[in-house]
Structure 1
Amino acid sequence: MLRDEIAAHGPMPFERYMERCLYAPGLGYYSAGTTKFGAAGDFTTAPELGELFARCVVQAMAPVLAASGDAADFLELGGGSGAFAEVALRAMDEADALPRHYLILEPSADLRERQRERLSAALPADVVARVQWLDRPPSAAWRGVLFANEVVDALPVVRFAIRDGAVFEEVVAVDADGRLVREDRPANGGTEQAVRALEHELGAPFADGYRSELLPQLAAWIAAIAGPLEAGAMLLVDYGFARREYYLPGRRDGTLMAHYRHRAHADPLYLPGLNDLTASVDFTALAEAGERAGFTLVNYLPQSAFLMASGLPLAFEAAFAAAPDEAARYRLAQQVKRLTLPEQMGERFQAMLFARGLDPLPIDEDLVGERPAARL
């Protein structure tokens, strides 16, 4: 399919290549039928480690749901294996705080069916009845919580490069032997303008040979997924950096990575459609996009700090006391380490919290940042 499109239309912008590899119906990584998440897949997300992550998110967002009233909904972007939804719904049910609807925006028919089977097997029928799957974001105004874990990193990026001071854009072509190859072509006006704006903000031009990513559609994406959220909170958790750290001179080949069978590598042309392709998040750009969409940036903090402020110690104590044996207690301790240690997920992953239409903000004061912009 990729070769046919390149033959018909010429070299393919990397952004298009990444979109096809991840989302082409029936062929892309997230739309084909292979296992993606957990030990049998290609990577492990925080919800796959155990229950603590989801329980902390529910604890943090419960006041927002309560303040949003009986019509409050909880919208999860990209439900993955269904692990997060299972634990979140169980925790909400235990606290008698179920939302009106638990919405899962999941474009993959295969993943949607896996989620449906998992939730139906694990939860009471009356709880599962609140779950609705969406093909696209809600178009009507709604209230509640929008949550996404490791979603923004999978948005297709533009790859740019600097050669002799000029801006080039990475494309995917086909060589004489029919192999996919990466090439640089002179950038279009929009990409060049975006790169020059970055250089101006950073106070220095990029060096020759520097290569990195842009996410020009981020503002439009935020507006599309969250625009109708008239009152509530938006919590986005992902790996990445503030802009000045993202575009450090030493990060000369950007942040693009591929994942296959729990191995990270740097060749996005390897096994198209079978590798997960990701790029770290520019959280400064994410903050700008959220504020442009009418949200207030509440806080931006490392995942470890977010979880601690969201009740991780108490959640761990309760789970530890209920653990049936020493092996289960050991797994809980390992889960906390993976979620919070700096060299694990604790510092590599960041949480960004936005709010709109809630005055005063009902969440715990530990989650309200006095100066989140200072880190951005």
Structure 2
Amino acid sequence: MNPTLPEPPADAQSASLILQNLIRNEIDKYDGWIPFSRFMELALYAPVYGYYTGGSHKIGAAGDFITAPALSPLFGQSLAKQINDLLPQTAGTVYEFGAGTGELAATLLPQLVNGGLQHYCIIEVSPELAERQRQRIRQSVPEWADKVIHLTELPDTFDGIIIGNEVLDAMPCEVVRYGENGFEQAGVSLNISDRHFEWGYRPLADSALLTTAAAYLPPLPGYTSELHPAQHAFVRTLAGKLVRGAIILIDYGFDAAQYYHPQRNQGTLIGHYRHHTVHDPFFYPGLTDLTAHVNFTDIAQAGTDGGLDLIGYATQANFLLNLGITDLLEACGASDSTTYLREAAALHKLIGQHEMGELFKVIAFGRGVEVDWQGFTYGDICHKL
């Protein structure tokens, strides 16, 4: 246990131990080694005990991280302006992935009704989070709760606006390094003496992963980074199901040239635990969020390979500024009021260069909708992809 980190309560530790034993059994089942992507999938999504499927609160002051919708309603109100321009060009349904506590949905619902919103579908794999979302919406905007439909699986087709805030970074990734004999795939093994989790490396045999690794990773001895086949497949799936509408994805990450810069030789994989950064991915599985940055070049490729129009790619700061977030702040009241000061502080985090403003990006795709979006009026950096 790291002495600088708060110790989990006994019931949380017990849940983590159960999950650890489940993962150990899987490692034993597959001859002592599983790909890191499988470890990450189990740590985050194993039924009952995974980070996102367990019962602990993950988001907010008492959780492990704070998302943009939870920082300020100005985020959702700005995004609503863009969605309202697009909704009338579709069947009027919004589909949200990664809805978290329901904060973004609660902000968007009253903003979208006059734009022709018919249904607000939340696709959610976590029963605990789904219930929190229902409660948040019922408490905040009960008059719009009947617009909300919870789904546990993807619909056959999408006709509307798909949004995902911090969805891609939570998808299991592969970890690859360049070794003496070429690319190696990182996996998880068990220490012989105490059966604790440890890294194990094998030659990268998967031809698709090998092709992707050769395309992105510099062949430098020991260079280690992440590949994201799950993200790529997710976007390709959405592209295949989108008959009309748009996809708006907001997350932290880089274009490929930045992501796989020679100096970023240890990748971006990291853990979050009670607002602390954790560099050990095996720290209390099920209680620690595991995440990696998004390679937006690969996301753009996935969408365009799926036949979508790449509408724009911009920093979160420019996207929100284009949509008039500063005007929304001015409407919060007098500049010395408590509300204004609180929202001004949140705005700084949302658009500040050294906060979320530059690291977070917005990428958007469309099919059968207008391609000139207000959110990308200034600062579109698609050329970097």
**TM-score normalised by structure 1 residue count:** 0.92
What one-letter code is carried by the residue in structure 1 that aligns with 2:383?
A
Residue in 1 that maps onto 2:117? 99
Q: CA deviation at 1:344?
A: 0.2
SS at match of 1:129: helix
Residue in 2 that maps onto 1:374? 383
Q: CA deviation at 1:118?
A: 1.2
Instruction: Show the 5 A alignment for 1:181-220.
Output: 181-190=198-207, 191-198=209-216, 205-220=218-233
Task: Name structure 2 gaps, 5 residues minimum.
Answer: 1-21
SS at match of 2:95: strand
Q: Distance between the aligned counterparts of 2:147 and 2:116, measured in 1?
A: 9
Distance 1:97 1:80, change over 3 A: same
Q: Distance between the aligned counterparts of 1:19 and 1:310, measured in 2?
A: 36
Q: CA deviation at 1:314?
A: 1.6
Q: CA deviation at 1:372?
A: 4.1
Matched, 1:129 2:129: no
CA deviation string 1:308-330 (max 9, x = no partner): 01120221111235x9x733221
Q: CA deviation at 1:154?
A: 0.9
Q: Distance between the aligned counterparts of 2:116 and 2:239, measured in 1?
A: 21
Distance 1:98 1:357, change over 3 A: closer
What one-letter code is carried by the residue in structure 1 that aligns with 2:75?
F
Task: Name structure 1 gaps, 5 residues minimum.
Answer: 200-204
Residue in 2 that maps onto 1:15? 37
CA deviation string 1:265-300 (max 9, x = no partner): 211000001111000000000000111111111111
What one-letter code is carried by the residue in structure 1 that aligns with 2:119?
H
Matched, 1:337 2:358: no
Provide the identity percentage. Answer: 36
Instruction: Show the 5 A alignment for 1:1-376.
Output: 1-10=22-31, 11-68=33-90, 71-93=91-113, 96-125=114-143, 127-140=144-157, 142-176=158-192, 177-190=194-207, 191-198=209-216, 205-321=218-334, 326-358=337-369, 360-361=370-371, 363-364=373-374, 367=376, 372-376=381-385
CA deviation string 1:193-230 (max 9, x = no partner): 3212325xxxxx42101100001233321132342221
Q: Distance between the aligned counterparts of 1:22 and 1:308, measured in 2?
A: 34
What one-letter code is carried by the residue in structure 2 that aligns with 1:109?
P
Question: Is 2:239–2:308's contact at 8 Å kept on the other side of the alignment?
Answer: no
Q: Which ranges of 4 or more aligned residues in structure 1 deviate by more than 6 Å? A: none
CA deviation string 1:107-129 (max 9, x = no partner): 1001001111111121133x110
Question: Is 2:270–2:277's contact at 8 Å kept on the other side of the alignment?
Answer: yes
Q: Distance between the aligned counterparts of 2:371 and 2:200, measured in 1?
A: 49
Q: CA deviation at 1:369?
A: 7.2
Q: Distance between the aligned counterparts of 1:146 and 1:19, measured in 2?
A: 23
Question: Is 2:88–2:116's contact at 8 Å kept on the other side of the alignment?
Answer: no
Q: Distance between the aligned counterparts of 1:275 and 1:333, measured in 2?
A: 31
Q: CA deviation at 1:46?
A: 0.3
Residue in 2 that maps onto 1:202? none
Q: CA deviation at 1:66?
A: 1.8
SS at match of 2:229: coil
Q: Distance between the aligned counterparts of 1:371 and 1:262, measured in 2?
A: 32
- Cα RMSD (Å) of the superposition? 1.7
Question: Is 2:322–2:378's contact at 8 Å kept on the other side of the alignment?
Answer: no
Q: CA deviation at 1:370?
A: 9.2
Deviates more, 1:108-117 or 1:96-105: 96-105
What one-letter code is carried by the residue in structure 1 that aligns with 2:134?
R
**TM-score normalised by structure 2 residue count:** 0.90
Q: Distance between the aligned counterparts of 1:208 and 1:179, measured in 2?
A: 27
SS at match of 1:169: strand
Question: Is 1:162–1:168's contact at 8 Å kept on the other side of the alignment?
Answer: yes
SS at match of 1:217: helix
Question: Is 1:82–1:114's contact at 8 Å kept on the other side of the alignment?
Answer: yes
Distance 1:369 1:220, change over 3 A: farther
